[in-house]
Amino acid sequence: MIQTLLLTALVIFSILAVLLRDLLKAAISLAIASIFLAIIFFRMNATYAGVFEISVVAGLITVLFVSTIALTKSDGDVRESKVVSILFPIFFVLFIIIDIFVMKTLLNRLMVVRYPAPTGNFGQVLWGQRTLDLVGQIGVIFAGVFAVIALFRKRDKKDE
């Protein structure tokens, strides 16, 4: 029951983050959604995932969003197509129906193969068994940093 309530709250605040036109409110909704997700992680014994979700997504990223919004001047309202506000609920309801159908009807009937779970604590699994992913993560971080440098660079006068 609590799990269902938490999941419902997560979905509601995620939708608000997308639909709210005020960026500040949208960022706060995202942070609240993230806190609900973190609680779900904790309840499912994924402690590290919960800690990262709260500290990075609900904390650090929200601070970055709010700071950026505070530092950015409004450039006037951008007109958005009304089609989105009509289509979104339709797609959302369709998604929920398909999701329930798939999860309850199809997947419950299937057997599961259990390979031995990774042994060791979080650090051992992360450093010892997901080493290649860490190399990839370094690549993602570099790409993000260089993307910021490239996109916020000053152009030479002759290029402008």
Instruction: For residues 37 and 59, give the distance between their C-alpha atoms in angstroms, rounded to a whole number.
Output: 13
Least Cβ distance, residue 159 to other proteins (angstroms): 6
User: Which residues lie below 8 Å from residue 35, measured CB to CB, with a gap of 6+?
Assistant: 54, 58
List the Cα angle 90/96/100 in 5-degree steps. 150
Query: Is the sign of the CA dihedral 31, 37, 43, 48 positive or negative?
Result: negative
Residues at the site binding other proteins, with contacts judged by CB under 8 A = 102, 106-107, 109-115, 117, 128-133, 135-140, 142-144, 146-147, 149-151, 153, 155-156, 158-159
